[in-house]
Amino acid sequence: MAFEDVKAELGLLLTQMENEQQPEDRHEIYLVILRKLNELKAYGMPLPEDLVELERSLEKEFEAERKRKPDASA
């Protein structure tokens, strides 16, 4: 996939996020961003710093949620 295609897809994703006050599924957004960042890495392309920061922020948020929830297997 060409760099311009990846940029266009990320732009569309960000536009969708801006148009919705609360995304229905933050985890889905996280996975899409992670996948696109991995595509850019695979092609040796520069990573947009704002998306890298968003991915890190969501990852920390999910980790904190996971730690707060009681373990169902206990």
pLDDT along the chain (74 residues), means of 10: 77 73 72 88 89 90 87 56
CB 29 within 8 A of CB 13: yes
Residue 59: predicted pLDDT: 92
pTM: 0.62
Q: What is the 3-state secondary structure (H, E, C) of the chain?
A: CCHHHHHHHHHHHHHHHHHCCCCCCHHHHHHHHHHHHHHHHHCCCCCCHHHHHHHHHHHHHHHHHHHHCCCCCC
Residue 73: predicted pLDDT: 56
For 17, the token pair is: 């996020």
Residue 1: predicted pLDDT: 56
Residue 5: predicted pLDDT: 82
For 48, the token pair is: 């947009």
